[in-house]
Chain A
Amino acid sequence: MNIKSLLIGAAASALLAGALSAGELTVVSWGGAYTKSQVEAYQKPWMAKTGNTILSEDYNGGLSEVKSQVEAGNVTWDIVDVELSDAVRGCDEGLLEPIDPAILPPAPDGTPALKDFIPGAISDCAVANIVWSTIYAYDTTKFATGPTTMADFFDLKKFPGKRGMRKGPKANLEMALAADGVAAKDIYPLLMTPEGVDRAFAKLDTIKDSVVWWEAGAQPPQLLADGEVAMTTAYNGRIFNAVAAENQPFKIVWDGQIFDFDLWVIPKGAPNKDLAMDFLAFSTATKQLAAQASYISYGPARLSSSALVGNYITKPSLAMGPEMPTAPANFKTALQNDSAFWADNQDQLNERFNAWLAQ
């Protein structure tokens, strides 16, 4: 084959790829069991309904990719699953498309979407799909009587063994204060004072040498399974998946859980913005949110979905209701992640945390 025919071939295939990409939506989420639940509950029904195709990509959270795509004027992602603090921040910085809540379908009984979603689930540029929470879980084979409170996580004498924690101040500082005896409602007001931050770091100091730091959500169940740690903070759905689907001997401690939303956002200048809006409205409808809860133990962001939550798809004897972060028994000492606090203080606290970690 000579160079000319090679070039013609390359040009032709580029054209062909361009033609095929019409109607192809790039959906970006966190990977693992979580993305799988979204593929089953949102993506497949949407593809069947509209005839469009979806390219599913994984990422590790954060806004850096969205920022670089928007700033370079070369946006390839259409819709991204983000944490609340990133949704707020991205919207403030003009990285995200505003979303008109009027596109969201009402609940089956006619309740408008704005009333059907949990308060705070809809913001200017984002619509929540799930409620997830940061909890800690332990390996039941390591302890005769397991830990039950947040204070137990920090108690190396009573419960010896390494701890896994997310590498960052978020959730760790709150948990440290909860373990130090601060009531859920007083945690953020206390963290706004320098003394509160010092107190949280002092509590973290007590276990620092026994901590293995993780970054991706898939790591903590792996650390537990490898016996690398005896207990670890984790996202509740990941631990549920390890227990229900892989029969791991792990148990979740719900005391002091910190819950948060995951939300869909659309990067500014997304190539298939209209399709993305359509997918967003479709996937956050009552039925789809309830369906997702059959695949992973994250709570739906709509009130009308809760009644429809069924049993675990691969083990039909397991009811999903009690596994949700929002189940009454799990929710007693729950704390909602304060995205406004973190938007204001994450620069400073990240710095302090990094310095603390490196010392």
Chain B
Amino acid sequence: MSDISVPLVAADGTPLRKKLAQAMFKSRMRAFGLVLPLLAFIIVAFIIPIISLLWQGVHDPRFASLMPRTTEVLKPGDGKSEPTEKMFKALVADLVATKKDRTIGQVATRVNRELAGARSLFTSSARKAKKLEAPFKQSLIGVNKKWARLDVWQGMKTSSRVFTPGYLAKALDFKLLADGSIVREDKSRRIYVMLLLRTMKISLIVTLSTLVLGYPIAYLLSTLSVRTSNLLLILVLLPFWTSLLVRTTAWIAMLQAQGVMNDLFVLFGLTSDGERFSLIYNQTGTLIAMTHILLPFMILPLYSVMKTIPPSYVRAAKSMGATNATAFRRVYFPQSIPGIGAGAILVFILAIGYYITPALVGGQDGQMISNLIDFHMRKSLNWNFAAALGLVLLVIVMFLFWIYDRVIGIDNMKLG
């Protein structure tokens, strides 16, 4: 009775429970201190840049901060009524200010994304804005009659949103209108959903082909003597250590119309010289090159899991009368599933974001979503939209990961 009401105490009189917590806290802090450098590195070099970039996909304050007066007067409008003199006055004041700060180009670029032709409209009008006098509506339309057009004002209204679903909508082939509604994109401009689906399809095919090709190799590696299997393992790893670009260009030399493979086909009479196969600069080329490049990522996890499967299990199954096929199907295969899971998810996730290989050998129907992200990062300089595409891709990958966890289970994955 008394040992319940009176807490246990240590030699110095503090309760034992507290003492224990103190000791635990110290060791936990020490452990935390050890991982702190890595944690800080990951936060600074990985998490913060990713979040700040993805943030741009929904956050675009450029127009609102550079054209504050116009943004203010556009706020109450529904984007459907005629622009008023008050709006023109604010616009002219903003044009003068942005011309002075040399920021008009950024404004023009932003609106041009909503409306082609807005760039020259803004830059040329800003040059003359300083000399304009009231009434501004008349004088600005006098500079360029496009200012009377409603779609110019709608473009500005859409651009003035600081938090905008516009980029995300576009990444899914939808369009944000000035009144805030979202509609399907014109048919001739729909591309991203199709590319996302194609990216999934290519990744899935690559994953399956690496599995089909890699499984027997991994099995062979795990059953051979250490000496031979080490030698073979080096052969698997050798391409792994070679530069990605070198391997991709090697495939170009192999697969092109005048390349090694086609020369062989012609030599063996499988095709004629005039009708060589198109094996590269299309989806076929992307599939072949990606399967080859990602193969080690399938073989290695499979190998390390198969290595741990005791051969005695299969022998035991056979000794009890199972045929080879049954022993494989009911005893060996289930034990190799963690390796398949690990390899498949590794290959699939790498494939989904693949970009150099499709860019080099993909031609027009072998391009993936990452090539368009690259396009908007490097060529069109629309980083907001690139971020939105990246966000969509990230969400899809996480969703697939979640499904994988529900169906197969993350715990069931083994890398070795």
Docked-complex contact A344 and B189, CB < 8 angstroms:
no
Stretch from A35-43, A61-69, A101-109, A275-283 contacting the other chain: A61-69
Q: Is A92 on the interface with B (CB-CB < 8 A)?
A: yes
Docked-complex contact A346 and B256, CB < 8 angstroms:
no
Docked-complex contact B188 and A354, CB < 8 angstroms:
no
Docked-complex contact B258 and A355, CB < 8 angstroms:
no
Q: Is B311 on the interface with A (CB-CB < 8 A)?
A: no
Shortest distance from the beta carbon of B114 to any chain A beta carbon, whole Å: 9
Q: Is B35 on the interface with A (CB-CB < 8 A)?
A: no
Docked Cα-Cα span, A322 to B375, in Å, equals 37
Interface residues of A in 54-94 (CB under 8 A from B): 62-64, 67, 89, 91-94
Residue of A nearest to B367 (CB): A358
Q: Given A62-B379, A355-B191, is A212 in contact with B120 using a C-beta cutoff of 8 Å?
A: no
Interface residues of B in 259-295 (CB under 8 A from A): 281
Residue of A nearest to B106 (CB): A93
Q: Given A344-B112, A348-B116, A352-B189, is A91 in contact with B258 using a C-beta cutoff of 8 Å?
A: no
Docked-complex contact B108 and A63, CB < 8 angstroms:
no
Q: Given A227-B257, A347-B113, A354-B375, is A94 in contact with B106 using a C-beta cutoff of 8 Å?
A: yes
Q: Is B109 on the interface with A (CB-CB < 8 A)?
A: yes
Q: Which 9 A-B pairs have the closest CB atoms?
A: A92-B105, A355-B191, A348-B116, A93-B105, A64-B378, A227-B258, A344-B117, A94-B102, A344-B119
Docked-complex contact B189 and A355, CB < 8 angstroms:
yes
Docked-complex contact B116 and A94, CB < 8 angstroms:
no
Docked-complex contact A228 and B256, CB < 8 angstroms:
yes
Within the complex, which residue of A228, A343, A350 is in contact with B258, where a contact is CB–CB below 8 Å?
A: A228
Docked-complex contact B188 and A356, CB < 8 angstroms:
yes
Docked-complex contact B378 and A344, CB < 8 angstroms:
no
Residues of B within 8 A of A162 (CB): 257
Within the complex, which residue of A91, A212, A354 is in contact with B105, where a contact is CB–CB below 8 Å?
A: A91
Shortest distance from the beta carbon of B348 to any chain A beta carbon, whole Å: 22
On chain A, the number of residues with a Cβ less than 8 Å from chain B's Cβ atoms is 36
Chain B residues in contact with chain A, CB under 8 A? 102-106, 108-109, 112-113, 116-120, 123, 188-191, 194-195, 198, 256-258, 281, 359, 363-365, 367, 372, 375, 377-382
Q: Given A347-B380, A347-B382, A354-B375, is A92 in contact with B367 using a C-beta cutoff of 8 Å?
A: no
Docked Cα-Cα span, A352 to B380, in Å, equals 13
Within the complex, which residue of B108, B113, B364, B365 is in contact with A92, where a contact is CB–CB below 8 Å?
A: B108
Shortest distance from the beta carbon of B336 to any chain A beta carbon, whole Å: 38
Docked Cα-Cα span, A215 to B379, in Å, equals 11
Residues of B within 8 A of A351 (CB): 189, 191
Q: Using A343-B119, A358-B365 as known contacts, list a sample of 11 further A-B pairs with CB atoms less than 8 Å apart, ordered by residue number in A.
A: A64-B378, A64-B381, A92-B119, A93-B109, A94-B103, A213-B363, A213-B364, A344-B120, A345-B117, A347-B116, A359-B194
Within the complex, which residue of B102, B123, B194, B256 is in contact with A358, where a contact is CB–CB below 8 Å?
A: B194
Interface residues of A in 247-303 (CB under 8 A from B): none
Q: Given A344-B117, A347-B113, is A355 in contact with B257 using a C-beta cutoff of 8 Å?
A: no
Shortest distance from the beta carbon of B254 to any chain A beta carbon, whole Å: 12
Docked Cα-Cα span, A345 to B109, in Å, equals 11
Docked Cα-Cα span, A275 to B377, in Å, equals 30
Docked Cα-Cα span, A340 to B119, in Å, equals 9
Within the complex, which residue of A92, A226, A340, A354 is in contact with B104, where a contact is CB–CB below 8 Å?
A: A92
Q: Is A156 on the interface with B (CB-CB < 8 A)?
A: no
Q: Given A344-B116, A348-B116, is A355 in contact with B281 using a C-beta cutoff of 8 Å?
A: no
Name the prevailing secondary structure of the A interface residues. Answer: helix
Docked Cα-Cα span, A359 to B382, in Å, equals 22
Q: Is A329 on the interface with B (CB-CB < 8 A)?
A: no
Shortest distance from the beta carbon of A17 to any chain B beta carbon, whole Å: 23
Docked-complex contact B256 and A350, CB < 8 angstroms:
no
Residues of A within 8 A of B198 (CB): 358
Residue of A nearest to B114 (CB): A347
Q: Given A92-B104, A355-B189, is A212 in contact with B363 using a C-beta cutoff of 8 Å?
A: yes
Docked Cα-Cα span, A343 to B104, in Å, equals 14
Q: Is A357 on the interface with B (CB-CB < 8 A)?
A: yes
A212, A227, A354 — most chain B CB neighbours (10 Å): A354
A213, A345, A355 — most chain B CB neighbours (10 Å): A355
Residues of B within 8 A of A89 (CB): 105, 109
Docked Cα-Cα span, A92 to B108, in Å, equals 8
Residue of B nearest to A345 (CB): B116
Docked-complex contact B119 and A63, CB < 8 angstroms:
no
8 chain-A/chain-B pairs, Cβ below 8 angstroms: A89-B105, A91-B105, A92-B104, A168-B379, A228-B258, A344-B119, A344-B120, A354-B191
Docked Cα-Cα span, A227 to B259, in Å, equals 10
Docked-complex contact B364 and A228, CB < 8 angstroms:
no
Residue of A nearest to B374 (CB): A64
Docked Cα-Cα span, A357 to B188, in Å, equals 11
Docked-complex contact A67 and B381, CB < 8 angstroms:
yes
B104, B117, B123, B379 — most chain A CB neighbours (10 Å): B379
Docked-complex contact B378 and A62, CB < 8 angstroms:
yes
Residue of A nearest to B123 (CB): A92
Within the complex, which residue of B120, B258, B375, B377 is in contact with A340, where a contact is CB–CB below 8 Å?
A: B120
Shortest distance from the beta carbon of A297 to any chain B beta carbon, whole Å: 27
Residues of A within 8 A of B365 (CB): 358
Docked-complex contact B379 and A350, CB < 8 angstroms:
yes
Shortest distance from the beta carbon of A202 to any chain B beta carbon, whole Å: 12
Residues of B within 8 A of A356 (CB): 188
Docked Cα-Cα span, A89 to B119, in Å, equals 10
Docked Cα-Cα span, A343 to B121, in Å, equals 11
Residues of A within 8 A of B194 (CB): 358-359
Docked Cα-Cα span, A67 to B257, in Å, equals 39
Residue of A nearest to B126 (CB): A92
Shortest distance from the beta carbon of A142 to any chain B beta carbon, whole Å: 12
Residues of B within 8 A of A63 (CB): 381
Residues of B within 8 A of A354 (CB): 191, 372, 375
Interface residues of A in 161-217 (CB under 8 A from B): 162, 168, 208, 211-213, 215
Give A311-343 as 1s and 0s: 1 = Cβ < 8 Å from B's Cβ atoms. 000000000000000000000000000001001
Docked-complex contact B112 and A347, CB < 8 angstroms:
yes
Q: Given A92-B104, A344-B116, A358-B364, is A64 in contact with B377 using a C-beta cutoff of 8 Å?
A: yes
Residues of A within 8 A of B102 (CB): 94
